[in-house]
Amino acid sequence: MGLSIIKKLYDKISANYNPADQFGSISKTHEIALNQFLSEDISNKESLNIVDLGVGDAGFLKKISDKCNNINCIGVDISSGMLRAAQKKIKMRAIHDSAANVHKHLGAKTQDFIISHFICAYVPTKILLEQANRLLDVGGCYSLATTTYSSFPKLREQIENLFSRKSLFAKLVSSFYQSVSKKTSVAADHASLNEDVIHSGFEVVQYKQIQLPVYFNNLEELCIFGSDGTWFLNCLHYKYLPGKLIRMVIKKFLSWIYTFPLEDHHCIEIMLVKKL
Ligand SMILES: C[S@@+](CC[C@H](N)C(=O)[O-])C[C@H]1O[C@@H](n2cnc3c(N)ncnc32)[C@H](O)[C@@H]1O
């Protein structure tokens, strides 16, 4: 999915970002990441330079600013709508660009604490780690939170069952699913995330994995979670087809394979790492 599509989607979502936290995925993650940060010496520094890559509505920066004085916040986001929402919450310098381009705006070793929560689906983890490594001096901290492919096993299992079928429809769906999966850059699991972190010159100082139950009474609820809730945004647009058509086809297809109510879980990795 191209940058301009994601940007447009998030500009729209910025009017109401609440559905993303329907099952506590965001608030629970922020609470754990905040406690990880507060238990490190860095949080006691007299003055802290903080950059949030994919800042969204600055929910996490707000939590930090409620606990720490003397912080200088910078929020980076491709969505101007999200940056406006963030600036309503806290005093922050806004950088309207991709997190992958942050080196064009900020000098090396100028920051104390970097954050990237829930943007690995849009910017590969290795690029985020490279950017964080460049911005931090030795001993600087980085809070990384991401969904992994261990999430939503029941939803995935139903789709993957189709792969063995021989119908044209099953083949089309399988090839669409595989192409989206290949392009989505979230980590497969904890082990692969850990490996990327260590190879990028960081040590893991704190780590927690959470599995949040999710529950859908009907197809409409599942679709709202995926689109307005943002968790399956990357599946809902494909460069050759209009988003509305994709959504219609996906909805029809989901109504064939799922029976409701449906229970599953959202798997989230929350890490605090330190630059070596
Ligand atoms: C799921 S939201 C997470 C927001 C926030 N980090 C949080 O924890 O609530 C993803 C955010 O990343 C932004 N985003 C997507 N692609 C991006 C990119 N390439 N560079 C910077 N921000 C991006 C979106 O506009 C959106 O604000």
CA atoms of 9 and 21, how far apart (whole Å): 17
Give pLDDT, residue 252.
82
| Contact status, residue 117 vs residue 145, Cβ threshold 8 Å | yes
Give pLDDT, residue 105.
98
Average pLDDT over residues 185-214: 93
Distance, CA 55 to ligand 1 centroid (Å)? 6
Phi then psi for residue 138, to 5 deg, are -55, 135
Give pLDDT, residue 164.
76
According to DSSP H, which parts of the chain are helical?
Answer: 3-13, 25-38, 59-67, 80-89, 125-135, 153-161, 168-183, 190-199, 219-226, 243-257
CB 10 near ligand 1, within 6 Å? yes
Average pLDDT over residues 8-12: 91
Ligand 1 atom with minimal separation from the 123 CA: 19
Distance, CA 77 to ligand 1 centroid (Å)? 6
Residue 240: pLDDT band by 50, 70, 90 thresholds?
low
* pLDDT at 69 > cutoff 60: yes
Average pLDDT over residues 217-246: 78
Domain that holds residue 243: 3-275
HSE-CB at 150 with a 13 A cutoff on CA atoms is: 14
CATH of the domain at 249: 3.40.50.150
CA atoms of 196 and 115, how far apart (whole Å): 16
Residue found by looking up tokens 């330190």 in the block: 274
Please tell me the total count of domains within the chain: 1
Distance, CA 45 to ligand 1 centroid (Å)? 27
CB 226 near ligand 1, within 6 Å? no
Q: Letter for the amino acid at 144? A: L
Structure tokens at 27: 């608030």
**Lowest mean pLDDT: which of 87-96, 159-168, 220-229?**
159-168
CA atoms of 78 and 83, how far apart (whole Å): 8
CB 264 near ligand 1, within 6 Å? no
